[in-house]
Structure formats: structure tokens, C-alpha cells
Structure 1
């Protein structure tokens, strides 16, 4: 095959999670990608890293594979989008996930303070209360567990972690959706312009919260970022804006929402799994959670950028190459997880999944997310013992650049 033929083949072998068929089933691409050399996606503008071993190599070598490109910068948008951001005086800095050492250490320590083990334990009563309220509010023997359960439940918890007032939930969610839109280079430019136009209001709102915590600190993430924690001083306001609106609110909401519904779907699709939950709910729910995180990772992946020329999986990558680490593909790599598409609650290496990353940038919110998932499932199956999928239900998935989530999860009981 000539170099031109190879380039044409690579261009045809593209990945776009916003449209069919990859929106419905990205594993069509993942399975094929694992059998090919690492390939550049024209749509994404990055090399697709799909094999578990290659992704682990990247995660274990942060000096060669920098996190500076982990998430897009909103100011990397087209000029008309940037003009709206500038008009709203919207700040932009790196986030925890974009930092390499040594700067990463301080930012991670402050972020960790907001989602510490003690903080997670303190939130358990709120989790149980909110989950119970939502289930009690179901009517007519049917519900959509995305819109009526996972979304309001996770909103309540992540807003409490950050320190947002409950009454501001709707507008915070709208702004959060705008941030996700601005991260998405495949979204229509007009939609990104509209999102950028609203970011000025979000900036002013966040600054009010920061100023309030500077005068009146509380037990929340905003206060930790303002005043410092774990032996590190606080951050500048611009950094706090970026961490709260991005790594905390977007990632802390979307991934947990999608993990909850994916785990419930796994439990309801397999009668044997449902029976095991009934027999031993606490132990089984933990097993279902990990297997669902492996099989249906809620976060598609993060970017890395090479700091030098390097060979990865047989492909020589130049310095400055952008990589997209496809965690969902690694989690179904048949060389690591036999029969990877199956649900196996007794899989001996389930915890080797990379749904929350690995190494230096392992998701700091993973313990919080696992607690949210556990309480959400315990409440559902305890209060609705007859829970089952609606008879005509077929899973469909949101059009999302970063996240893999159900559009709805219709159940009856």
C-alpha cells in the first residue's frame, strides 16, 4: 500500500461520537482500533489510543505524555466564540487535570480536600435523604431514571460538595451544560457562540461565591480552594473559576449521572444479576458498580500531548502529538478482560479498569462517585423491589464528545 493509500484508509477510519454509528455503539470503532496501529482521527484531531497496554504506558509516564492538553481550553474556540468570552471577562486557566508536576501537587491537594473521605462520609445522610425523596416522588408505577432520579440526585450532591445553594440548581446546570458545549469542537459554532455569551453571567455568579467564602469560609470546596488546605495555600480567583466550573461541576455531574444509570441498566438487563442483588444487596451492588464502570465507562477519555518523539504501540509519534486515551476501549480490551462485553460480577480483575484513570491523575472524585452510585442503587432496589425495565425500552445514548450516557432509562414496578 502506498503512503497515499494509507492516508486515505486512515481518513476513512475515523471516530465521531456525536453521530451514527459511533454514538449508538462506540465499541464498533474500539474493537477495530485495537487491531490497528494507533491512528489519527480527522474529526477529533488526535491520535486514538485504544489498547489497554498503550493507555497504561501513557498514564504511567507523565513526563513523556503531558496532561497539558487533557481537556480543551474554551479560548481555543473559533474567533466569534472567543469574542463573546472576552466580552464577558471570562477567565481561563488550567485545571487539576491539565497540570503536570510540580504544580499538579498543590491543585490536587486542594481539590482532594473538597472530596476527602471525611467529606464523603458527612454527605452520606444527604445522599440517602435525597435518593429517598426522589423515589417517594415517583408516581404511576413508572419513571425515567435519568431525568427523574439520576440528574436531580447528582445535582444535589455535587452542588453540596462545591458549596452552591440548592435554589440555584437550575441556572448552575444550564451554565454547566454551556461549559461542556464549549469543550466540544464538534458542536455547531452557533451553539458555542450562544454558550459563550452566557458565560459572563456564570463568571459573575462564581465570583460572588468566591468573595463570600473569602469572608465567611464553610465546609465546602470553594472555601478549600480560596483559603488553602492540606498544607497548601489557596489559589487565585481565576484558577478557582476554572476548577469549579470544569473539573468539579462538569466532570462531577456528568460522569456520576451516567455511571448510576449504566449500573442500574446492567442490573435490570440480567435476571441473574437482579437475583443476586436481592440475595446480598450490599456486596452485589459494589460488584455491579465496578463491572458497570468497566463495561460502560461514563467518561470517554482524556487527552495527552507528547513532550518528545516517542514510540507507542508500534507507532512513532512526533513531539507535540495530541492523543485521546479511549478509556472505554481499554476497559473492553480482550487481552486484559476475557469475554469483555459480558457482565461478570466475579471477574477477578474488574478493579483494573481505567474508568477513573490511573496513576498521577486518577480521578479525585472517584470515592465520592462510588458512594453516590451505591446509595442510589441501594435506595432503588430497597424501595422498589419489583423494579424492571419498561417493556418497550431500548437504550439510546446522548450525543456527547466526552461522556457516554443514556438519554433515558424507563422503568416500571
Structure 2
């Protein structure tokens, strides 16, 4: 019996150490998991084909998993009190997706992120200042969480004092998608979802009366080609996706990156030896983290019409998971795919941000945060090592990958 018939992505041991499972999946690039009830794509070139064919592989409602993992009645009743979520970016197709993406692109273009470079550097420096002289820290709680939530708070134009709420809200948004939480936690997540909406409704209403130079004002003031603004459900959906993508995935990549640095001292040495003013190696390292530890392990598409892929018939209405993390270790695309290489020439081709029209809106921002954070951290510390007591466990989640905690020790340089 093969590994993929014995195990599934729902098994905690597979989620903790998925590499062997991904190798087995790649022997059957389009595989139907009878236990989970959906197909899985695991190779790079087939995945690119799926991601670029939105007519056949739809994103509309693709991440709504009530048919696979329905919420308990109490959680459903709480969410029914909220403003209904609508398809905007991640769960949308053209022409509606094109309309909203065009309205939201400008704040995330390279020129806009260039203007954020110095503020991001200051946030990273202040965060490291908070723990560096202690000679130890929990990377997740003291480094990986504060940086992106502070960046996103400043970008949205809300108080940094509110930033800790963002972590709770984004956790509540993604945990149900992972299909691994209890009914009791589902209820808590539903309550936090309503709390998130109430907060952002107030902030959005305030921007209508008192505009600022921030992302929420951009959301309120944006109009499409016909002069139509976003409605409230669209605005809240966008805020939710920005909140999750803006901190949850970056947090997980930052923590995973530090683990990879400690596990690969020769690569860490190359990163440190680079010119202080040259961020290229740090940028390549950031891409390698996204490739090897893909914070978003996979997302779904809905088959919009009967089709065939790699000799496998895919019926209309079926669900297929594009498993980014498996494709990012495809030996047909990457030499020595399981090895970290800060000089890898094609590191930036990873699918950690997706591809095609759904390529992550905040990819430029995330790369800038990761690059700055890793570049500065390795120049503020030396002899970075794991502290005693780490179990290196990850949050149970079928779609996302993130360490629970990571205790490290080091010597402060400055």
C-alpha cells in the first residue's frame, strides 16, 4: 500500500513532516483523495496550468469549505449575524475579480512598497531592540508576530495599540479553513469574526467622514471604471483578506526562516558575509523560505467544466487542491529541491504567492518585510542556536503551516 493511500493531508504527522508525502504525491500528480473528497495537484508545471486557466478552474467560493467541513450550528448562528462575506479577491474570477483587483492594486505596486522601505526597517529594528540584549527570545511571539502586525496596522492607518487584536482575528479567520479545529473553537472564531467586522465598520465609516493617507481611506474612496465604489460587504471582505495575508503568512515565514538559518549554518554564514548594503542574498533567502516552508501550503479551485488533466478526468463541480508546497519541491523544476540555497538562481519562481491573476496582492510587501527582517536579524545577532525545550510543532491546519513557538539563544552584536 502506498503512502498516499495510507495517509492524507488531514493527518497531523503528515502536516508536521510533509516532504515524504509530497514526494509520493508527485508520482501521481493529479490524485483523488477518497478520504477527503477532493483532487490534489502536486507538480509545478501542472499547477501553473491550473492557476492560469480560470475558465476551467474557478476560484469563486473555492475556499468556502462548508460542504467538506460544516461549522456547528452555534457557530453558524453567530456568523449569520455578521455582514455576509462576498467574493472579492482570493475567491473570485473575472470580470468581478478584475474590477476589484484593479481598484486595490496601486497601494501594493513596487513604487508604493519602495516608500515603505524605511518605515519597515524602523519597525524591524525596534522589534529586535525589544529582545536582542536578553540573549534569547521566542521567535514567534517576539519577532515573527510583532513585525507584520505593526506594518499592517500602519498601512491600514489604525492604532498600533490595536495590532494585537489583528492576530486573534486573523487566527480566527484561518483556523476554520484548516478543517482541524473543535466545535468549541469554531464558536470562538465566529465571535471573533463578528468583532473584527464591528471594528472595521467603525474605521471605514470614520474614513468616509475624515479621510487620511492610509489603506482604509483608499478602500473607501476607490471607484471602478464606471464610477461605482465598493459596497460594505466588499470592503469588509478585502479588509479580512488583507489582514490575514498581511500578517498570518508573513509571521509563519519569519519563524520558519529563523529555524532554517539555524539548521543551515553554512547558508547563514553566506547571508552574514554579504555586503551590509546588499539585500540580494537576503531576498533570495526569503524566497527560499517561501519555497521550502510555504506558509500557504495549498488552496482550492472548483472545476467549472468537465476536463482532463494529465490523463485524469476531472468532473464539473469537483474540487481540486493546488498544493503549492509540493510544487515548490518539484525536482523537475528545482535542482536539489529539498536543500536551502541562498544563491539559487530561480528561487523567485516559487508558487508561495500563487500565480496568474490570483498572484498574491501583497507579495511585494511580504518580500520587503521578510528581506529586511532576515538581513537585519543576522547582523544584530551571532551564534544563533535553538534553546532547550523546543518541540518544533506546527499549528494543526491543512492549508497553512506555522510554528507554535521557537525558542532561540544568541549573542547580541548591537
Q: Fold conserved (TM > 0.5)?
A: yes
- 386-395 vs 372-381, which deviates more? 386-395
2:129 counterpart (136, 144, 148): 136
- 36-45 vs 121-130, which deviates more? 36-45
1:54 counterpart (46, 49, 61): 46
The answer to whether the aligner puts 1:298 opposite 2:291 as a matched pair is no
The answer to whether the aligner puts 1:209 opposite 2:210 as a matched pair is no
Q: Structure 1: how far apart are the matches of 2:127 and 2:409?
A: 15
- 143-152 vs 155-164, which deviates more? 155-164
2:270 counterpart (238, 256, 276): 276
Q: Over residues 231-268 of structure 1, what are the superposed CA-to-partner deviations in whole Å (9 max), with x where a residue is unaligned?
A: 664310111111112x1111221111111222222222
Q: Structure 2: how far apart are the matches of 1:197 and 1:409?
A: 29
Identify the residue that residue 335 of structure 1 maps to in structure 2: 332
Q: Structure 1: how far apart are the matches of 2:71 and 2:161?
A: 31
Residues 293, 176 of structure 1: alpha-carbon distance in 2 compared, 3 angstrom cutoff: closer
Per-residue deviation at 1:271?
Answer: 2.1
The answer to whether the aligner puts 1:243 opposite 2:232 as a matched pair is no
Identify the residue that residue 194 of structure 2 maps to in structure 1: 200
Residues 194, 208 of structure 1: alpha-carbon distance in 2 compared, 3 angstrom cutoff: same
CA contact (8 A) 2:395 2:403 kept: yes
CA contact (8 A) 1:267 1:288 kept: no
Residues 361, 389 of structure 1: alpha-carbon distance in 2 compared, 3 angstrom cutoff: same
Identify the residue that residue 61 of structure 2 maps to in structure 1: 69
The answer to whether the aligner puts 1:262 opposite 2:259 as a matched pair is no
Q: Structure 2: how far apart are the matches of 1:183 and 1:233?
A: 31
Identify the residue that residue 216 of structure 2 maps to in structure 1: 222
Structure 1 regions of 5+ residues with no counterpart? Answer: 1-5
* Secondary structure, counterpart of 2:27 in structure 1: coil
1:89 counterpart (74, 82, 85): 82
RMSD, aligned CA:
2.4
Residues 268, 12 of structure 1: alpha-carbon distance in 2 compared, 3 angstrom cutoff: closer
* Secondary structure, counterpart of 1:369 in structure 2: helix
TM-score, normalising length: structure 1 = 0.90
Q: Structure 1: how far apart are the matches of 2:148 and 2:75?
A: 30
Residues 172, 338 of structure 1: alpha-carbon distance in 2 compared, 3 angstrom cutoff: closer
Per-residue deviation at 1:199?
Answer: 2.9
Q: Structure 2: how far apart are the matches of 1:30 and 1:266?
A: 19
Per-residue deviation at 1:347?
Answer: 2.7
Q: Over residues 128-168 of structure 1, what are the superposed CA-to-partner deviations in whole Å (9 max), with x where a residue is unaligned?
A: 22211221121431111111111011110112222332121
* Secondary structure, counterpart of 2:13 in structure 1: coil
Residues 106, 341 of structure 1: alpha-carbon distance in 2 compared, 3 angstrom cutoff: same
CA contact (8 A) 1:74 1:182 kept: no
Per-residue deviation at 1:197?
Answer: 2.9
Residues 389, 298 of structure 1: alpha-carbon distance in 2 compared, 3 angstrom cutoff: same
Q: Structure 2: how far apart are the matches of 1:223 and 1:73?
A: 32
The answer to whether the aligner puts 1:307 opposite 2:294 as a matched pair is no
* Secondary structure, counterpart of 1:401 in structure 2: coil
CA contact (8 A) 1:302 1:326 kept: yes
How many residues align structurally?
Answer: 403
CA contact (8 A) 2:59 2:300 kept: yes
CA contact (8 A) 1:302 1:325 kept: yes
